[in-house]
Structure 1
């Protein structure tokens, strides 16, 4: 009679069956995890861990689940247990390094990355971790390159696509960011960070309905209750579509959940700012920097709010934070001293261009102050502006290359051009220098005078679109559609109209109903991209009507009459009230009376222009038409 005890072969067979069943269960848990069914995946996995709590494959998946849930401490404990038994497990080392980075233990994370590189330099694990660390250190261009290598090495990695998407997003490569993040979400549905970054990519692409739908799907999938982060993103959506009141409600709801949430205070400040409530904006910005002292954008916005309210002492101080936001310090400048006082100045003062073209045109005037103090003044500026500034005799040297401006051993100090107002104590009532200072060569002006002298009508140049890249945060909405100029051009036929628009905004011209009413030489103007030649065209105009852009500064600095069209809450330099500006005495300000309402502004301009046409005798020369 056979014994009831199993034989060795039977025991081996059962063990194999158990291993096979365990493998099937692990595969099912993995499949559920990759589908985004995290709860079900964890239930299945826990049934395996109840049998063997130390098996590396189980612990690795458990670590990923805990990481997915944002349980960093528990995930770190779990992966450390795994590494005790398998210290060279590449997958475990990668996720360990990622968790350390997320916990801000960057030095330790770097050590893990170096260990992975030692094991296998070009492995997907090493590439992903190194890319993530570069991202953490702010080197987004290199992070993108490494994550793209990781994608080639392992095309099925949702993490590699995620890192690439975030790196592209940080570099404002929004189309690439969208594509990478969408692929990451396809490979691993339900990852909250991916969903919210995809919202941001769509948001920046101007696809606001899609971005909002993406946000709502993410919230619904997580149970329908928005977090404070969700509410901030919702508020940003409402700001982007011009719904400041709804934005304020969303940011306030976020703060009701977490009163110490600096990002919510910062965005609430921006919403108040854009709606014209500057005192409330300042209060929110102050709370933002209280909770997040290194939040450069909130410091900068606080400075802009102060400047709008003519609080220049605090405004210029906070405005210095733009240097972090814009990252203006250039290679080579770190070797030179920065000018911090007008006492004991060096022989040479170097102005360094920053931000927009209009900023350079506005503040180049202050070369006079340093020249009058007996200093040589030089300007480092973008190539586009070199001929214009050079020909105006404002500086002793102008170049777009630092090496062309500084000789070995030269006694020199530099300063960013937008830091000059702080250094000199500039205020709206103390602009120091108001005379026209941009000079246009007589030959260019005469040449365009001959081209344009085809009739004796009042000659008006128009411009409607500034740099779209600059129109974010507090500058939202400063441009307007070309179609709004139809209110003027469609009715005022006793005016010769010409477009000064270059680049973004020109694409609207083919659809403009009154294109045929522009000057007969408009094609020649469109073909002119040089700032000197544009200045010559402006010099032959009686009036420039423009939104807030570099064109307003160019015409103002030349000294031509400008009617400047402003949003209800404009850039700091124009203040909140009044029709005049000390920066350009020949410029008149036309402000929105209702937020976003350009039509009322244009109707007002039309009335003023009609009256101007009725009162001015037109002898034929543009410079003979006095325009106020």
Structure 2
């Protein structure tokens, strides 16, 4: 049942077995695995510790306990468990991999890379070790090695396989040929990767872009590609294909090659109506857009999102007019807030072209990590990004700026879960900006 992914059914087998043999540590370990697989890490920890108390102290049990504690963000205890698993079974690559995951989740990426290296020496075919090593390398700004590992997503199933026309493109010129660019991951990933599209013209040939439908009105007027097809539509024949998120690694494989210069512009036809909607703000006020949550479908969104209430506490300041750019289920928080000075632009944001027009007319956007941050950076508009810890690899470590986007400023926590520090720093910066009567920058 476990092998088939039927974790609840497996649990239904294990519980009666434990009623018969309550002193069987291996059964308690198995029950912990089922609890962990169903998103109940605290219960899994109790099962694993019961197994340990019954003397079932195998390396696998220790690493299971370490994995569950990692999910609970108890990194020091998790690390001790993973180290014990490695001590008991030093030649097992999977345990080195789990050690690497615990280190990466604790934001200790240099040590994580060492653990992933060891895992791959012992288990070269491990399906995820290269992927996670790549992300840690990118956190550390090691783009050449990081992007090389990042490509494993096309081989290990992270990008769902499908029949693709032509051969995989490696960046060579393609005069007289057709290159098909494939959408993957989220809106922000497409926007981030679109920085490379203007460079494709110099390589000759025809370029067809597969793209999420909400981005087509923004990207089509740029004229970088010959044709855009919506994601999910039948793919045309092509000589070459490439996944969008592979392009930055082909065109900018080293940190010093990043300029951070903007490459997008808001469609001119969308600007007048948006300008009119923003004219309700007093001329002397700073017009600030806010986004407090990314897609709620993203499994780890809760770690990077905040509530509207916390945003208002930090940024609803005299001299500031707030405009909501928030889309999706978190919009309900704005309706629940009742009468308030914030102006809701969401009903007027049909697609990313409308959002680009709004961002272009604002003085500043303050937000948590989601696609609008990439949009503002690509437009060259001032954006302050409030980061959780650990943050996405794109934001690297320690720095307050981003090499990807010159107009972006990063606000980081001192420690995991330290949103007070992040909001306090951004609120103080906004107060200074209002006093100075200036424009926001990075």
TM superposition score normalised by structure 2: 0.87
Q: CA deviation at 1:451?
A: 2.0
The answer on whether the counterparts of 1:392 and 1:440 sit within 8 Å (CA) in structure 2 is no
Distance 1:224 1:430 in 2: 55
Q: CA deviation at 1:300?
A: 1.1
The answer on whether the counterparts of 2:408 and 2:441 sit within 8 Å (CA) in structure 1 is no
Q: Greater relative contact order: 1 or 2 (C-alpha under 8 angstroms, separation 6 or more)?
A: 2
The answer on whether the counterparts of 1:378 and 1:405 sit within 8 Å (CA) in structure 2 is no
Distance 2:415 2:152 in 1: 31
Q: CA deviation at 1:518?
A: 4.6
CA-based RMSD: 2.9
User: Which whole-Å deviations, capped at 9, do the CAs of 1:430-455 have from their partners, x for residues lacking one?
Assistant: 12672332x33233222122122112
Distance 1:526 1:210 in 2: 42
Q: CA deviation at 1:599?
A: 0.7
User: Which whole-Å deviations, capped at 9, do the CAs of 1:387-409 have from their partners, x for residues lacking one?
Assistant: 332233332111126876635xx
Q: CA deviation at 1:351?
A: 1.3
Equivalent residue runs for 1:142-541 within 5 Å: 162=1, 167-168=4-5, 179-186=8-15, 188-189=17-18, 191=27, 195-203=31-39, 207-217=40-50, 223-328=54-159, 330-333=161-164, 335-343=165-173, 347-400=177-230, 406=236, 412-431=239-258, 434-437=261-264, 439-456=265-282, 457-467=285-295, 470=298, 477-489=303-315, 492-503=317-328, 505-506=330-331, 508-509=333-334, 516-520=339-343, 522=344, 525-526=346-347, 528-541=349-362
Q: CA deviation at 1:564?
A: 1.1
Distance 2:349 2:174 in 1: 44
User: Which whole-Å deviations, capped at 9, do the CAs of 1:488-517 have from their partners, x for residues lacking one?
Assistant: 135x13211133222354455566xx6643
- 2:426 counterpart SS class: helix
Matched, 1:552 2:360: no
2:384 — aligned with what? 563
Q: CA deviation at 1:339?
A: 0.9
Distance 1:533 1:337 in 2: 36
Distance 2:161 2:347 in 1: 33
Distance 2:249 2:8 in 1: 43
Q: How many residues align?
A: 433
| Structure (1 or 2) with the larger CA radius of gyration | 1
Q: Which runs of 5+ in 2 are unaligned?
A: 22-26
User: Which whole-Å deviations, capped at 9, do the CAs of 1:213-249 have from their partners, x for residues lacking one?
Assistant: 34445555xx243432222222222222222111111
2:401 — aligned with what? 580
Over 3 Å counting, the alpha-carbon distance change for 1:272 and 1:324 in structure 2 is same
Distance 2:311 2:55 in 1: 45
Q: CA deviation at 1:188?
A: 4.9
Q: CA deviation at 1:343?
A: 4.6
Over 3 Å counting, the alpha-carbon distance change for 1:219 and 1:566 in structure 2 is same
- 1:496 counterpart SS class: strand
TM superposition score normalised by structure 1: 0.63
